[in-house]
Amino acid sequence: MAQETPMIKQYNKIKAEYEDAFLFFRLGDFYELFFDDAIKAAQELEITLTKRGSKNEKDIPMCGVPYHSSEQYISTLIEKGYKIAICEQVEDPKTAKGVVKREVIQLITPGTVMEGKAIQAKENNFIAALYPFEDQTAAFVKADLTTGETAAALLTASPSNWEREITRADLKELIVPPGFNEEAIQSSVLFSTEAADELSSEFEHLCDELNSDKLKKAAALLTNYFKRTQKRSLSHLQRITLYHPQEYMQLDLHSRRNLELTESLREKKKKGSLLWLMDHTVTAMGGRLAKKWVEEPLLNVKQITKRQSLVETFLEHYFEREELRERLRHVYDLERLAGKTSYGNVNARELAQLKRSLNELPALFSLLQRVHNDYANELINQASDFQDLRDLLEASLTDDPPISITEGGIIKEGYNEELDRYKEASRDGKSWISNLEQQERAETGIKSLKVGFNKVFGYYIEVTKPNIPYLPEGRYERKQTLTNAERFITPELKEKESLILGAEQNSTELEYELFIDVREKVKQYIQAIQQTAQIISVIDVLQGFAYISEQNQYVRPEFSNDRTLSIEEGRHPVVEHMLEQGEYVANNINMHKHREMLLITGPNMAGKSTYMRQAALIAVMAQTGCFVPAQAATLPVFDQIFTRIGAADDLASGQSTFMVEMLETKHALSHATPESLILLDEIGRGTSTYDGMALAQAIVEYIHHHVGAKTLFSTHYHELTALSETMSYLQNVHVRAVEEDGEIVFLHKVEEGKADRSYGIYVAKLADLPNEVLARAQTLLQQYESASVGSSTINDTTYVQEDGAVHTETAAAKEKDEPAHTSESPQQLSLFEANEEEESLSVSKNEEDIIRALKDIDVLHLSPMEAIETLYHYQRRLRS
């Protein structure tokens, strides 16, 4: 094996400390990567993979990215979930003895990135720590380094609660102690491990509001990770505030997905979600707060009412609201500007943005005072005026400074006398040089003579070679020879050059020092900036609520104390907004303490799922403080919403549609309270007809008898509609459809009572099934409809509809006139094979029995496969 060079030895030593990260190793103007890092980075970044080799190094894979454009490459790797260790030269190569000393100055991870494409303006970039305890509780602390926002909660003994907080926070990274079982959390979040040491003294002040040793353990886990990876001041981190998840409406991952709260189901994008509809904020920080509110609807009616009052005020003051929106457009992201200032990577242009933002505040707050709202006044009183800071930034920074902080052009004239003298000297020198060209042309008579400058040779006088003889002798000193010209200097030019370049260098260096001083002074205002940013965010979200309420004719909902849910002419907010043709059909929803459950029947595509979703979305909107799509609305405050809507196989974990359906239903039955809302859409459709019907009825009964939650339950099992006769809190409603000229017309109108039929063949016609199939199905349907539905016998088990319930009896039990005590579900018949019991059954029945059994079959509730199985079964019996 070839001997390592000192540089590669240094690289390997540093890399050993950061095995799970790409090591960006600084060599001159490049960050270089070696060995496996190089191979993988070249693939991910689509850059050239080369090799490094010498007498002592053989075929070392290598790739590199330019230092000045490294940010885009780092962002790409971060977006893909990688970590990057930035290794810099920490001593001057000119004075170094041997290999230049290098150290990792920062570890950039998905949860600690501060800028670049990975940071979305209207989304937080949360990183969190989860510390589990033996009693199955867990401490949870999250932070957004880009804004300084922090929060902590003590989670109860249920992994589902842990997952809910992790998914709701949309974490980019989760810090856990060594030995943590990552499989306990069903999430794609990036896991990182940190030693569970004590809380560092420099972060103790962040935990002033935490009165729990458990929470301090998680805080130590998170802040120790920051200390190890960031290696710089994090003074912008706010004190960790304690929150209680039970103070907000609980929405598990499935419910948030099914209701499309923050992203659409199909495209996984914001467009088409409730957030897309509700977010009419103007500022980035307002957008982040809007997302948080949609995911955390309130339970406290007093807080909801305060938000509603300001929304209503904004609705009543159109012109003030429009002026407010216009002023907010000039307010930059104060939270992230404060974060970058503390972090030390804010530039002059961003401080100029801060200046312009703060200059908007006096007029903005004056405007809010004019609308005369108590909540608005309460918010204004918590904000700062920043007169001193505005004066500082106005006096020190130019109006349009460059991004670079090392090339000058940042500080205004009049801010510093010494800087003004340097600039005046530079200006005077440049003025002298600009006149020099005309003077030299006049004295020499050479019209093509010109004065120029470059960074290598400085100032020069350039004369073409044919004109060299016309230069006066002894006055010009040759400086550079070109192909067609010579470049010269004069004693006077040399003197001015020294003066100009010296002044410019001194000016640039002094401007940098002055900018750093200004930045340090701004740091003193960070907490006040953060608090004011939060206030502006609230105002921005609520004016956005007023905007959409006015645009879509929403109404202010009221809240009931007697469990009343009354929505007049309610609409699905997103479907209504995206409807390109026609008019949305509004519907009423009426529920109260004597009408807790609605059993919804009607054909597919008629709008049952939309009707259910709109009830949940109206509740979410109301509890965020927004107005709602209805003519009038009175709602209870829901503590949780559970949904089982749609069929999505969890194939990755090997779970079928039916298993997912049952797991989600079980979660609702286990956690719902009388103050919850449950939406169940066609439960049982993933299994055989009778299995599904039995399960559906059992679930309805359980919710009715034991849970007591407001429930919307849609079904194609029309037999279940008879349950309303025995269940006092259950009522039937149906989505109306009519038949016109042989075609089905969906009216999308929900009315009292049960549906008379399912219109399955008409839906199949809309799906453009072959005409032969449709005609045959219609014939069979007419035959079945002419028969009465009573019982059907399959696999020696009789299913009897009685009082709206589906009961089972075995043949043996019938002979003894005793009920069967069995929990076994009937097995579906094999399509191509029959067992001995079936053969025995087939020869023991005569044709009259078969005809009677066929009459008893409810064909509308058979799946295509079940229909084929049944037909095959009876055909075999007839042939035998």
- Cite the annotated binding site for ATP by residue number: 602-609
What are the strands of the beta sheet with 597-601, ordered from one edge?
250-251, 640-644, 677-681, 710-714, 597-601, 730-740, 743-752
Taking the C-alpha atoms of residue 225 and residue 593, their distance in angstroms, rounded to an integer, is 51
The enclosing H or E element of 488 equals: strand 485-489
Closest by CA position to 456, among listed 497, 495, 422:
497
CA atoms within 13 A on the CB side of 622: 29
Annotated binding-site ranges? 602-609
Taking the C-alpha atoms of residue 752 and residue 599, their distance in angstroms, rounded to an integer, is 10
Contact 7, 99 (CB under 8 A): yes
Taking the C-alpha atoms of residue 743 and residue 692, their distance in angstroms, rounded to an integer, is 29
Q: Which pairing describes strands 84-89 and 22-27: parallel, antiparallel, or unpaired?
A: parallel
Taking the C-alpha atoms of residue 138 and residue 160, their distance in angstroms, rounded to an integer, is 12
Residue 228 structure tokens: 């190890």
Nearby residues of 873 by Cβ (< 8 Å), 6 or more positions away: 794, 829, 834, 838, 842
φ/ψ of residue 451, rounded to 5:
-105, 130
Nearby residues of 769 by Cβ (< 8 Å), 6 or more positions away: none
φ/ψ of residue 680, rounded to 5:
-125, 120
Q: Which pairing describes strands 173-176 and 190-193: parallel, antiparallel, or unpaired?
A: parallel
Residue 456 structure tokens: 């290598």
Nearby residues of 66 by Cβ (< 8 Å), 6 or more positions away: 29, 30, 31
Taking the C-alpha atoms of residue 108 and residue 125, their distance in angstroms, rounded to an integer, is 13
Taking the C-alpha atoms of residue 385 and residue 19, their distance in angstroms, rounded to an integer, is 48
Taking the C-alpha atoms of residue 481 and residue 487, their distance in angstroms, rounded to an integer, is 6
Burial (Cβ within 10 Å: 0-12, 13-18, ≥19) of residue 807: middle
Taking the C-alpha atoms of residue 78 and residue 63, their distance in angstroms, rounded to an integer, is 18
Task: Give long-range contacts, CB 8 A cutoff, 24+ apart: 14-18.
Answer: 14/85, 14/87, 14/102, 14/103, 14/104, 17/104, 18/83, 18/85, 18/104, 18/107
How many other CB atoms are there within 10 angstroms of residue 344's CB atom?
Answer: 13
Place of tokens 């079964």: 873
Nearby residues of 267 by Cβ (< 8 Å), 6 or more positions away: none
Find the farthest-apart pair of alpha carbons in the chain and give their distance in angstroms, rounded: 135
Taking the C-alpha atoms of residue 524 and residue 519, their distance in angstroms, rounded to an integer, is 9
What is the SS3 assignment for 399? coil
